Amino acid sequence: MINIALFGPPGAGKGTQSAYLVERFNLIYISTGEMLRREMAAGSKLGEQARDIIASGGLVSDEIIVQIIEKTITENPQAAGFLFDGFPRTFIQAYILDGLMMKLNTSLNCLINLKIPEEVSVSRLLERGKTSGRLDDNETVIRNRLREYHEKTLPVLQFYRDKGQQHDIDGTGSVEQVRADIVRILQQELDKNLFNLVLFGYPGAGRGSQGIALAEKFGLEYVATGRMLDEEIHSGSETGREIAALYENGELVTDEIVVRLIEKKIANANGVKGFVFKGFPRTLVQSYILDGLLRKHGSGVSMVIDVAVPLLEVVQRLDARSRTDRRMPYDSSTDRIVKRLREHENKTVPVIDNYRKQREVLTIDGTGTFDEVFGRLCHAVEDGIRTLR
């Protein structure tokens, strides 16, 4: 997802550029004026409140505007992002937008400011006035509008400049030149987006081998809790000794230890394009932990895939694996296999169901040869990365 605010004085060409960007990047266009008119036309509660205020000569409050923006965002969960035109207009609204985006588990990527000299604005708007028929396209009104724009937006620009999120673009060039400059900035922002895949499936569904192959093909870091725990033990670290002691006592490794290792993995994975998570999260609590971990690093879960294999075939696979050097501790007997499968159904299936309430969970057929399953997974991941980028 990419969220941008497009700024510029009247006549800077925001409307022209917005129309292109919305189509090019599959964004939802958010203009407070348009949204207010739409809500009023629909006769919604918020629309009626706004109509009463406007009819009495008042200004629509930030409280109403932010509710309409939140409604627009939540009604478009599959959007690739949002383009804000005319909002935030004040530094108070900038704080409001930050809080709203945080509540919705996203954030504003950047503010793009189309800079043009006042005389260029005046010239463009006067030229537009020759054909627009707009009464406000006269020099006196235009200069008043420009003065008001600069007085109100200067604090907003400083707000995002202090956060390192503001980009100035010379808006005096051709439409194509300005467009190319904007696209370059947005592409740089998109390239920062990590693609984070969570792989689910019964034990024996092939998540491990498929996850490793996907990570290698797409430049991702493979994160498997079992492998990380073993590596930590072999490293001889203090955490490794702590894990070994838990194993020896037959105790489960705590979430605190697992999170510590995952966080270290994320922090040290420089240059990767994202992560493939296998074996985590296994519980609802761990799913919340993962969301928090990724959010801390400015990211989030990009795609969730459930590798589906019939239960009988899973049991056959685990039984066959128990007679190889790839066997897992729970492969050693039928009772242990059944216990592990039951644990998956009781603890992990609810996690998948919870993700389904929030987003699309892709179910991929896990039967067939390795290459057949890998091909299906690659197709899904390619679509997911294309959407993200």
Q: Residues 141-165: pLDDT tens digits? A: 888 888 888 888 888 999 999 999 9
- pLDDT score for 33: 83
Q: Which residue has the tokens 């100035």?
A: 168
Same domain for 117 and 214, yes or no, is: no
- The whole-angstrom separation of Cα 276 and Cα 266 is 11
Is 48 domain-assigned? no
Same domain? 307 vs 209: yes
Same domain flag for 164 and 310: no
pLDDT digits (tens, 9 = 90+) for 281-329: 999 999 999 988 887 776 789 899 999 999 999 888 888 887 887 776 6
Distance CA(384)–CA(211), nearest Å, equals 15
Domain count along the chain: 2
**Is 174 in contact with 316 (CB distance < 8 Å)?**
no
Q: Which of 192, 226, 253 is the last residue of a domain?
A: 192
Give pTM, 2 decimals: 0.59
Domain match, 282 and 374 both: yes
Q: 166 and 241 share a domain?
A: no
Backbone φ and ψ for 274, nearest 5 degrees, come out as: 155, -165
Give the pLDDT confidence score for residue 304 in this predicted structure.
96
pLDDT of residue 331: 61
254 and 365 share one domain: yes
As a whole number of angstroms, the distance between CA 265 and CA 221 comes to: 9
- Specify whether 131 is located in the same domain as 83: yes
Q: How far apart are CA 6 and CA 110, in angstroms?
A: 9
Mark which of 156, 174, 192 sits at the end of a domain: 192
Q: Residue 213 pLDDT more than 90?
A: yes
CATH code at position 324:
3.40.50.300
- From 192, 219, 254, the end of a domain falls on 192
Domain co-membership, 172 together with 284: no
Q: Name which of 154-158, 170-174, 190-194 the model is least confident about.
A: 190-194
- Same domain for 174 and 271: no
Task: Supply the range of the domain harboring residue 152.
Answer: 2-27+79-192
211 with 165, same domain?
Answer: no
**Do 234 and 334 lie in a common domain?**
yes
pLDDT band at 133 (very low <50, low <70, confident <90, very high): low
126: its two tokens: 């006067």
For the stretch 224-279, pLDDT in tens is 988 888 899 999 999 999 998 888 877 778 889 998 898 888 877 777 889 999 98
- Listed ranges 86-90, 169-173, 185-189; the one with the highest mean pLDDT: 169-173
Among 301, 292, 298, which Cα is nearest to 200's?
Answer: 301
Give the per-residue pLDDT at 226. Answer: 85
- Pair of tokens at residue 200: 């689910």
Q: Are 274 and 196 in contact (CB under 8 A)?
A: yes
Which of 18, 11, 256 is closest to 143 using CA atoms? 11
Q: Is residue 50 part of a domain?
A: no
Regarding whether 218 and 157 lie in a shared domain, the answer is: no
